[in-house]
Amino acid sequence: MPLIIPIFLMNRGCPHRCLFCNEQLTAGDRPERITEAAFTETVRTHLAGAGRKSGPVQIAFYGGTFTGMVREEQRRLLKLAAPFLREGAADGIRISTRPDGIDAEGLDFLRSSGVTTVEVGAQSLHDEVLLRSRRGHTADDTVRALALLRQKGFETGIHLMAGLPGDSPGRFVETIERVIALRPDMVRIHPTLVLRDTPLAQAFREGNYLPLGLADAVALCKNALKALTAAGIPVIRLGLQTTRELEEPGAVVAGPFHPAFRSLVETALFLEMAAAFSPRRYRRRRVDPPLHPLPGRRLQLLRREAGKHQGLARTLRSQRYSRLARPRPSPADTHPDARSEATEDGLFRADHLRSDCRKTPDMVWITPRVE
């Protein structure tokens, strides 16, 4: 994953406002026009904060619809990034846009201006969901856009939202299946939130829209993460990026907002995978494992069973879980007060995970990595 330097366009180029959108909250309070001085300062600040360059760097124009702006404004913004490309401080430019804002001529212009990655705001691949969300495009627009982007040699990404008006678990699964068939290079997913000062907030108050609960959102995104990862498509973000404005009282009217949403999803996935061949009580009672791990309780697998499931180890590693390792004591074994030291979302503090292993050669531990 490259270092991404975000530049927010604040709804510029959008043909209309979608039902759920309030970029003053999701992107923060930013000026409408991007000046050269502000652009340069933002890029230099991010580069300085990143320290020594150790990987690819992209300047990203997020928010709004980049290709919906007039060509001269696109050219002006891309020229602001050009000096950083020439001096090698950045390796490429990333933009986000709508699927119906992509055509061959525009892509040729972007390619010649240093754009290497295009993220497409599809949100759903079900036409009724798109219609009820006032997106103004169809699922076929996304299919056509991805095909054209691949033909022109761009790296591609797709944005998806779970729980949009008219959506259902079945429709969301269909969307994920269609996305896998399109083979994007990356996917972003976040559950729909009811934000203040949006048409969706009005629909919610009138009883015409019911958002997902947090557990349902985690379950949907967990299954999506599992399917996309198995297909070799990285999910580079789960949940909205938190801003100061988004955390203000009343900013989120309703919906499954959590500042560590990805952690909840990965924890649920870890427990599901581990419970498939460890805690007999879950299989016997045919109930789902709890959403969060309980401090002091670790899941143990017989080494011979772990050897049969190398795919588990690979998947856990790819989703930031530690590899199947030599046994480690649980926090409760080495720290009697560890239970009270657990965080609110059920994750252990890292300092409770660094004690010596017990001599139990026939066991291995699967341990969530705490970062």
Show the domains of the chain with their CATH numbers: 3-259 (3.20.20.70), 267-365 (no CATH)
Mean pLDDT of the chain: 78
Is it the case that residue 213 has pLDDT exceeding 50? yes
Query: CA 69, CA 91: separation in Å to the nearest integer?
Result: 24
3-state secondary structure of 75: helix
What confidence tens digit (pLDDT) does each residue in 12-41 have?
A: 878 888 889 887 777 666 667 889 999 999
Q: What pLDDT score was predicted for residue 12?
A: 81
For β-strands 363-365 and 300-302, DSSP reports them as antiparallel
309's tokens = 């499931």
CA 251 to chain CA centroid, Å, is 21
Q: What b/e string do you get for 188-200 counting C-beta neighbours within 10 Å, with b at 16 or more? A: bbbbbbbbeebbb
Q: What pLDDT score was predicted for residue 28?
A: 66
Long-range Cβ contacts of 308-314 (<8 Å, 24+ apart)? 309/277, 312/273, 312/366
Q: Is 137 left (phi over 0), alpha (psi -120 to 50) or beta?
A: beta
H or E element, residue 356: none
223's tokens = 């299954």
* pLDDT bracket for residue 135 (50, 70, 90): very high
Furthest-apart CA pair in the chain: how many Å?
Answer: 68
Please measure the distance between the N-terminal and C-terminal CA atoms of the chain and give it in whole angstroms. 17
Q: What b/e string do you get for 215-224 counting C-beta neighbours within 10 Å, with b at 16 or more? A: eebbbbbbbb
Q: Is 291 left (phi over 0), alpha (psi -120 to 50) or beta?
A: alpha
Is it the case that residue 225 has pLDDT exceeding 70? yes
312's tokens = 């588990």
Is it the case that residue 58 has pLDDT exceeding 80? yes
Q: Is 336 left (phi over 0), alpha (psi -120 to 50) or beta?
A: alpha
What confidence tens digit (pLDDT) does each residue in 273-318 have?
A: 777 766 555 554 444 444 443 333 333 332 333 343 344 445 444 4
| Alpha-carbon separation of residue 238 from 101, 124, 181, 304 (angstroms) | 25, 15, 20, 34
3-state secondary structure of 331: helix
Query: CA 201, CA 185: separation in Å to the nearest integer?
Result: 33
